[in-house]
Chain A
Amino acid sequence: MQFILKNQEEINLLVQQLVTEHTDYLFQYAKLKLKHEDDIKDLIQETFLSALKNFNQFQNKSSIKTWLTSILRNKIIDHLKKKSTMTIDDYLSATEEHFNQMFFDTTNFNRWQEKILPNQFINSDFNTHEKNEFASVLYQCIDHLPEKIKPIFISKYLDEEKSETICKEFNISQSNYWVIIFRCKTYLRNCLEKKDAFNP
């Protein structure tokens, strides 16, 4: 099915409908990947503009929300590439020592720096309220992940992209991709532990 827009009034109505229905979702999606609100706003506007310019080609195979999200996703990747002054590989090398010292005892075979204790959540099932609380703390912790590697981590879990696709898009090696996933999970675990999210 194709959508044919006939006149200006119809276009204006469509703009209103799209913005009203999808801006909140796109805003939250972009907020997970980007830090600066001005960048987010610009990219959302560009997303709607590209979508509307190509709206006649929109095939009803996916939902409009999915279609808009995929446009925004590509715009975010291009934006990060343009903005980046340091490659991700260089970033990983530059921060390796700091990461290791933060979590591992490099003088003792890289054992964990602090004891990782068992937490309540491992053995118990959360009720709905606890689940929501845990999710909201997890959301806050994702927001605190390092800006450089956060979009890659989000691509895996939010966009559910395959590792090969992510590596190609962000121009990183497979082994560095796994380093990023490991670091992000370690940062998240540490953040959740500090916020006591394991014992709601």
Chain B
Amino acid sequence: MKYFNIILNNCEEVSMHYATEKKTNWIKRSEYKIHLIFCKCCQNYYKQTLKIEKDLLNIKNKIDQNKSIIASDEFKNELISSIQKKLNQQ
């Protein structure tokens, strides 16, 4: 009974399995599948993390579009003069 309780209730282990690409043996994978069939929370967590992952993979393109975080002109001008000064010293 304790064994079934562990399989059916350990959301942390199951969610970790589905949120990562960590390799596990087929017995564990079967246990996780059984858990997933019965656990609505883990099913939802799994679907949500898939969605997050998909968006994370596009984040590289989003950096260029994200205009809310940009370096100030003041910093850029300071950077130019400081780099030029350091290069001239060498």
Which range contains the number of A residues in contact with the other chain?
35 or more
Residues of B within 8 A of A119 (CB): 44, 48
A175 to B75, CA, bound (A): 41
Contact with B along A89-130 (1 / 0, CB 8 A): 000000000001001100011111001111101100000000
**Is A84 part of the binding interface, using a Cβ–Cβ cutoff of 8 Å?**
no
Contact of B83 among A45, A136, A138, A174 (CB under 8 A): A45
A53 to B86, CA, bound (A): 11
Provide the main secondary structure of the chain B interface: helix
Binding site for A on B (CB under 8 A): 5-6, 8-13, 15-16, 19-22, 40-42, 44-45, 47-49, 51-53, 55-60, 62-66, 68-71, 75-76, 79-80, 82-84, 86-88, 90
Sample of 13 more A-B contacts, CB < 8 Å, known A122-B44, A139-B62: A8-B88, A25-B64, A27-B70, A28-B66, A48-B79, A52-B87, A104-B11, A110-B9, A116-B45, A135-B62, A139-B59, A157-B57, A186-B15
The 6 closest A-B pairs by CB, nearest first: A109-B9, A110-B12, A27-B71, A116-B41, A157-B56, A178-B22
